[in-house]
Amino acid sequence: MAGPLRAEPREDYKCFIETNKGQTLVRFSWQPSKAPQYKKQLIGRQLPALPHTDGKPMMVKRVYECVKKEEAFSTSQGRILEHSEPMEG
């Protein structure tokens, strides 16, 4: 007899994406086993309005990279953006 199922804990991820408002970084909290699936599902999704988007939602056009919050982006563009502007989400 199996014991009670335990939910997989979530971890914080940061994603370098392109939206209708340009390139930006956003944060998500995902279950690690589902992170690749969630990353694929971002394209075409509407993200909530943020202060720098003039109150208008952002539409995800492209996902360059998603990594765990404590990891560094492998792309130089992602690293530069991370050091030049605050992360949203």
| Per-domain residue ranges of the chain | 11-84
| Residue 80: band (very low, low, confident or very high) from pLDDT cuts 50, 70, 90 | very high
Q: What angle do CA 72, 81, 79 make, to 5 degrees?
A: 25
| Helix and strand totals (H; E) in the chain | 2, 4
Amino acid (1-letter code) at residue 56: K
pLDDT in tens, 20-78: 989 999 999 999 999 999 999 999 999 887 666 677 888 999 999 999 999 999 999 99
Q: Please identify which residue in the block is written with the tokens 């699936």.
A: 37
Predicted confidence at residue 56, as pLDDT, reads 82
What is the value of pTM for the model shown?
0.82
Predicted confidence at residue 54, as pLDDT, reads 75
